[in-house]
Structure 1
């Protein structure tokens, strides 16, 4: 039996409840779990023929019964919903059941679960990518304050799907997410706001844009065309996001100061940037070169 088949067999007998199963993240895990043959039930406030329509913060008898019968309950919902439902969901779970969250901020939820009953497993996952991209080759942050066989099986299933599981604590997760998500999104949005301030249009820029600028325009398009609630949550919910934005503003001032001081100061600034990348400098340089080798999009 291959490792994947062994994991699938371990999960195939589970009854799984995915709350927020009609959403992108919930759907990602519905497909993963259903692929093993497990019985997977979606719950969502949005009605649909393939799910239970219900509110996990105000459950009816049918939803409460599904929680009690589940081997694994996955909360693919915003943090306020997860926190509001946590007490009754934890009380209703059967002994040995697995409770999973997919929150983009972990520390507040981790604190709320610290005193939960000890006979249930707890696992926090955060796919660090848009769900439509799929697991293959992507990182998934994993916080496991109370591990066990079911949590291990689910992590193995995520890895078997091609993802790279990155174990972290809740506090470390939020610090890394502030740097890798909140800072990145703020930098791209600041770039867009600066373009608006300069009074140039995308049509004008597209005719002359060198590869780095075109790449930033593409990132701006991805964020500006996305769901505002997702990007708002990254900036507003993470307790370290404000510090990341402050650091971004300080970085812009450092560039301005270095230019004012002269070429030697600017050279030192680039040396500091190389030091941040450390041994990863060649790797990310090559990655950038591959990006720039891609065909340019056609358009007016």
Structure 2
């Protein structure tokens, strides 16, 4: 029998993500939250049970997951941990680990297993496949049956599981998240203070500047409260900030003094510290730059041709003729109507991929065209040649009444997706047929309403 899972703060964000994911895996899920209306909507949407009573949710769960914002995690753990029943599992999924780990260990009953956890992904992730999940249990709880179950479940779902102590986690995250966010938010704030017109600056941008602006935009566009909590609740952040500021000031002084050799020394020493990762960084950024430029180049080659555009958020697919590309936008034309799409938010398909999508999402129509050929013509050779140009089959071969002596009628079926496309294909088909000795007998468009 699968354990009952209670998610404290399961009506939003990553808590809601886990509620949906675990419910879909067949677990009985309870979620709690302060907003009753939102909770009832989540209850109906996901098919889970909702309560606005954290303690009640904690008492009912065999597994209790704390999924509240960092700034209230410690308080909520103190509230619910004493009510988690013996033999159960208590977890949290915040991005800091020392404070939650110590608090859960202190306030949980004896016999409750504690596994502090950090999923390294956001609620837009489709599944656990190839996602990193960090577990930071004590040595005692690492030996428990609950730990084996959690570890095996994550591995079976395709996650990459890392097991480290909470203090080591917070130091690494202080760099991976804390320093990264701090540096890029500082860059964004600097550009704001300098009153830089970001859109204008991109006209003069190098590819690396484009990447930097994109990363800054991505970070400052996130939930600012979450990012504030990552900075303010990780006990390792202060030391990291001080080191970063010291280095910025040191380099600034070197530049002011025009000490070229000192500047070169800092770069060389940093490069030496990176070792092979310096080259990897160059290769990685080259690939990113190439991907950005090659996508635009490929799109320019498709202007005037039919493409499919898939929105990466909604997965909705649009078909049409690529009319133009302007900055970050492409214009798609269909039946005289135009639509604009942000290139950065869509996937574009052409060629064989386009045809596969059309077959999957559009109603396939056809036109039958009968052609007279001399009796000794090999229709299989003709079909083979035509298949390179059309989606086509032979549906009938006839000799006899009403057919000119020495000839046979071959009926070809050409497939398409609308009346105009089939008409264009018919004209091209007949032009080719006349050049190889065929004569039109009749044609008929089938199943067309548009």
What is the CA deviation profile of residues 255-286 of structure 1, one whole-angstrom value per residue up to 9, with x for unaligned ones?
A: 22443353322222122222332343333332
Aligned to 1:117: 109
Distance 1:80 1:181, change over 3 A: closer
- Residues 71 and 229, structure 2, Cα contact 8 Å, conserved in 1: no
Matched, 1:22 2:11: yes
Shift of 1:212: 1.7
Gaps of 5+ in 1: 1-11
**Pairs aligned (count):** 282
Measured on the aligned residues, the alpha-carbon RMSD in Å equals: 2.3
After superposition, residues 1-300 of structure 1 pair within 5 angstroms as 13-46=2-35, 47=37, 48-49=40-41, 50=43, 51-56=49-54, 59=55, 64=56, 66-87=57-78, 89-115=80-106, 116-134=108-126, 135-145=128-138, 146-147=141-142, 148-259=144-255, 260-295=257-292, 298-299=327-328
The normalised TM-score by structure 2 is: 0.58
Number of the residue aligned with 2:321: none
Q: State which structure, 1 or 2, has the greater radius of gyration over its C-alpha atoms.
A: 2
**Does the 8 A contact of 2:178 with 2:231 survive in 1?**
yes
Deviation at 1:229, TM superposition (A): 1.0
CA distance in 1, matches of 2:2, 2:91: 18
CA–CA distance in structure 2, aligned partners of residues 86 and 118 of structure 1: 15
Q: Which has the higher contact order (CA 8 A, sep 6+)?
A: 1
Aligned CA distance change for structure 1 residues 230 and 87 (closer, same or farther; 3 Å): closer
Correspondence for 1:9: none
1:31-85 CA-partner distances (Å, limit 9, x unpaired):
33223211112222223331514142xx4xxxx2x43332101110124543333
Task: Give unpaired runs (5+ residues) of structure 2.
Answer: 44-48, 297-326, 330-450
Compare the two structures and name the one with the higher helix fraction: 1
Per-residue deviation at 1:185? 0.7
In 2, Cα distance between equivalents of 1:88 and 1:192: 38
- Runs in 1 of length 4+ with deviation above 4 angstroms? none
Deviations 1:96-145 (A, max 9, x none): 21111012222122222333433111111112233313533332221112
